[in-house]
Amino acid sequence: MYPLTEEQRMLRDMVRDLAQKVIAPRAAEVDETGEYPWDIKEALARQELLALPFPEEYGGAGADMLTLCLVVEELAKVDASSSLILGIQSLGAIPIMLAGTAAQKARYFPKLAKGEWMPAFALTEPGAGSDAAAIRTKAVRDGDSYVLNGNKHFITNVGLAQVYTVFAMTAPEKGTRGISAFLVEADTPGFSIGKIEHKMGIRGSRTGEVIMQDCRIPAGNLLGNEGEGFKIAMMTLDRSRPEIGAQAVGIAQGALDFAAKYAKERVQFGAPIANLQAIQFMLVDMAMQVDAARLLVYRAARAIDEGDKNISMYSAMAKCFASDVAMRVTTDAVQVLGGYGYMKEYPLERMMRDAKITQIYEGTNQILRLVAARGLLAQY
């Protein structure tokens, strides 16, 4: 239904080999320690995988969305945290891709493409999660500068990123039309890191709080025009959600692969449990869900690549369905292993914990159903 080019197949196979040889052996340790896997990040940079989201003229690979999803999926099969390294490199760059000036792209893209710098996307606040319009961070124009004050939380790459896309109110009385987007570099005076979160899953990815107190940035760091921040944020999420869908598909496929192999080896009642119809039905139900989720993700990726007007709907559907599948499939995979599935000796309990966040970040699945329904009904 979505045929891959020879180049995409070769890239997918290379990433699959890298994931098995370099990332899989480290996945349990990264989860246990909760430390950022710098060695894996550098391995991705050496293979020029972090260059995929960026235009060729800035040292990137100019990959399309389907290619990005293929790579994220392969990485997520063995470790969700590692797949997020590429996912956030893409998410942090999309606002600049959409609204950045030539000068802004020339400053940031070459460093990001090489993996020398990492970005972050700073939208969420303690009182503004699903209700993104409720942000309270303010930006006030002062001559040739903007002064930012406020807090952001649940920010991925916090304390690691060199450049943050920060959304702040420039005209609170205008509601969503009063939100603007800014590029804030991590060494800017008044910009600091607060609490680092201790998470249930994706423990190799750092998440935490950003604090801005009289943080002064050049007026040239405004992304787009004043009042376009909310639009930029929503357009960014429309284009990043398929990658979260791909991450969810990868987690689910990895869990299915492990459970199916285990079922053929585990003997009970004198034969492999894969001979039992109850287990067979569980496995085939898991496989059907994973394949359906993959097709939805690929469809959303193609819609973005082709400039389809319905990308909000397709992206929401793909991320929502795939993440629900990841949660169901990892839960069932744990069940196939029985008591062993509950033990840290096996990777399934980690996959189950990692899967949960895919239902939450970049839009909860409850919100995404609203987004998809809005797009669906607009067609009628």
CA distance linking residue 83 with residue 318, whole number of Å:
17
The single residue of 74, 125, 349, 362 carrying the catalytic annotation is 362
Terminal-residue alpha carbon distance, the chain: 26
Is there a single domain that holds both residue 241 and residue 357? yes
**Cβ partners under 8 Å of residue 157, min gap 6:** 88, 92, 118, 119, 120, 205, 206
CA distance linking residue 244 with residue 90, whole number of Å:
11
Known catalytic residue: 7? no
Rounded mean pLDDT, 272-299: 98
Rounded mean pLDDT, 342-370: 97
Query: How many angstroms separate the Cα of 314 from the Cα of each of 55, 118, 160?
Result: 24, 28, 32
Is there a single domain that holds both residue 104 and residue 135? no
DSSP string, 242-306: HHHHHHHHHHHHHHHHHHHHHHHH-EETTEEGGGSHHHHHHHHHHHHHHHHHHHHHHHHHHHHHT
- Give the tens place of pLDDT for each residue, 36-70: 999 999 999 999 999 999 999 999 999 999 999 99
* Mean pLDDT, rounded, of the chain: 97
Instruction: Answer yes or no: is pLDDT of 3 > 90.
Output: no
Share above pLDDT 90 across residues of the chain, in percent, rounded to a whole number? 98
- pLDDT for the residue 133: 86
CATH number, domain with residue 264:
1.20.140.10
The two tokens of residue 275 are: 């001979």
- Given pLDDT bands bounded at 50, 70 and 90, which one contains residue 32? very high
Is there a single domain that holds both residue 31 and residue 127? no
- pLDDT for the residue 164: 98
Is there a single domain that holds both residue 266 and residue 286? yes
Is there a single domain that holds both residue 268 and residue 340? yes
Q: Which domain holds residue 62?
A: 6-114
Examine residue 1 and state whether it is found in any structural domain, yes or no. no
Rounded mean pLDDT, 313-321: 98
CA distance linking residue 108 with residue 373, whole number of Å:
36
- Give the tens place of pLDDT for each residue, 214-257: 999 999 999 999 999 999 999 999 999 999 999 999 999 999 99
Examine residue 154 and state whether it is found in any structural domain, yes or no. yes
Examine residue 252 and state whether it is found in any structural domain, yes or no. yes
Q: Is the dihedral of CA 128, 239, 374, 362 positive or negative?
A: negative
Is there a single domain that holds both residue 99 and residue 134? no
CATH number, domain with residue 69:
1.10.540.10
Instruction: Answer yes or no: is pLDDT of 326 > 80.
Output: yes
End of a domain among 167, 202, 227? 227
Let me know: does 79 contact 32? Beta carbons within 8 Å: no
Instruction: Answer yes or no: is pLDDT of 1 > 80.
Output: no
Is there a single domain that holds both residue 334 and residue 304? yes
Examine residue 350 and state whether it is found in any structural domain, yes or no. yes
Residue with tokens 């429309």: 238
**How many structural domains compose the chain?**
3
- Give the tens place of pLDDT for each residue, 66-124: 999 999 999 999 999 999 999 999 999 999 999 999 999 999 999 999 999 999 999 99
- Give the tens place of pLDDT for each residue, 146-160: 999 999 999 999 999
